[in-house]
Amino acid sequence: MRYTRYFLPVLKETPAEAQIVSHRLMLRAGMVRQATSGIYSWLPLGLKVLRRIEQIVHEEQQAMGAVPLLMPTIQSADLWRESGRYDDYGQEMLRIKDRHDRDMLYGPTNEELITDIFRASASSYRDVPRILYHIQWKFRDEMRPRFGVMRGREFLMKDGYSFDIDKAGAIHAYNKHMVAYIRTFERMGLKAVPMKADTGPIGGDHSHEFLILADTGESEVFLDRAVVDLSLGDRRIDWDDRAAVQALVDQWTGPYARTDETHDPAAFEAAVPEGRRESRRGIEIGHIFYFGTKYSEPMGATVSGPDGKPATLHMGSYGIGVSRLVGALIEANHDEQGVIWPESVTPFHAGIVNLKQGDPEADAACETLYETLTAAGLEPFYDDRDERAGAKFATMDLIGLPWRVTVGPRGLKNGVVELTSRRTGESEELSPEAAAAKLRAIYGR
């Protein structure tokens, strides 16, 4: 993409409404624009990041065996009356009426809808286990939206639902999600820690929130540093091997890690050596939950078991805050100059800065580099504006592409361009061909 053909409304000054760094930078970098309180338009640059996060989530969900579908944003109130949640949900649910005066709502979540879909078609124990998920916009009418996309009213969420014949099966589905989530967040360069969450009236110990550690996080968290050092890496996982998946879950849930909601100071001190105790702040980016027959029971979601008798399905639901992740990623990856994207989610793979637009040699070198990278399957962002070097650098730093290739007459005289890492600031001079080759190697293209 060329700057002069793109839509990138960057701001030099910080809009007054933005408090936290991710919100400021998303506005300044032209990623989002507030439509009204807690509701945002995603501008081209922000949308690219959102899509890349979605893509990783899709890949890891499907690798684990979940099946994608797409449910609507608007739902009928009828199903919610069936589960009993229409009255329970409160003011956070946006209730609307259609022209026939029927009660509708903008879905804050989809348990009822998915249960309705599944019960209509699943009749035998052979139809389970299944995991269905979608990535769809949700709406929760928060009393007080804040922190930009991190706490908006409208938000994009991956929500998945598992259906099993019994609790043991459902726990396996739960465990698969935990491991898949760890891998998903690792791919985004995030250190996400599963923390025991409050299960409310359902009880049991099968609810975990995933939090990333960031100084600006909303929740206070207490953890054993040992959990931070764990890494799934790229090891192969046999998703059908219950014991193997359970072992991974045990490994990650062994060390103490709790939010202030479930924190038990006495247990913390007893379980964790003083040198490893950490008190940090965290941002919740995912939540997994086994809830048994909470919806299947009232909604009559049953299948025939091997013995011919009806069995009520055991379910779980699993969420990832996709739009929130964009903000969370920035909270975890930025400096004074702007955003620093991890390579896995960057909107463009590399920026090309032409220091002297209009100089035949510089222009030609940039064009060639642009073509080479594009041909290799990379997406370069070429700043071809007739601007001064300083302005171009400042913009590149702000939007945070992990790599920048600086091309100018001075370097070209010696046959070199400069390849700079946004994260470390280190740069090296090398031929345009070598720079392209290095970028291809970095991205494995």
Residues that bind RNA (CB under 7 A): 10-17, 19, 34, 36-38, 92, 140, 142-147, 150-153, 155, 157, 209, 218-219, 284-287, 319, 321, 323-324, 337, 355-356, 387-391, 393-395, 397-398, 406, 408-412, 418, 420
Of the candidates 258, 232, 255, 257, the residue with the CA atom closest to the CA atom of residue 245: 232
Rounded Cα–Cα distance for residues 157 and 87 (Å):
23
**Minimum CB separation from RNA for residue 337, in Å?**
6
Compute the least distance from the CB of residue 425 to RNA, in Å: 7
Residue (95 or 242) nearer to RNA, CB: 95
Instruction: Write down the least CB distance from residue 29 to RNA, Å.
Output: 10
Nearer to RNA by Cβ, of 10 and 237: the residue is 10
Nearer to RNA, 38 or 169 (CB): 38
Burial class (CB in 10 A: 0-12, 13-18, 19+), 231: exposed
Please, what is the minimum distance in Å from the beta carbon of residue 260 to RNA? 10
Per-position DSSP letters for 143-195, written without gaps between them: SS-BTGGGB-SEEEEEEEEEEESSHHHHHHHHHHHHHHHHHHHHHTT--EEEE
For 317, the 3-state DSSP assignment is strand
Least distance (Å) between residue 411 CB and RNA: 4
User: Whose Cβ is closer to RNA: residue 111's or residue 284's?
Assistant: 284
Structure tokens given for 377: 């399957």
Residues 42, 45, 50, 51, CA torsion sign: positive
Nearer to RNA, 82 or 429 (CB): 429
Beta strands 130-139; 67-68: pairing state = parallel
User: Among residues 38 and 194, whose Cβ is nearest to RNA?
Assistant: 38
SS3 sequence of 52-107: HHHHHHHHHHHHHCCEECCCCCEEEHHHHHHHCHHHHCHHHCEEEECCCCCEEEEC
**CB 418 to RNA: min, Å:** 4
Ordered DSSP codes for 245-271 = HHHHHHHHHSS-EEETTT--HHHHHHH
Nearer to RNA, 251 or 427 (CB): 427
Residue 312 CB, shortest distance to RNA, in Å, is: 24
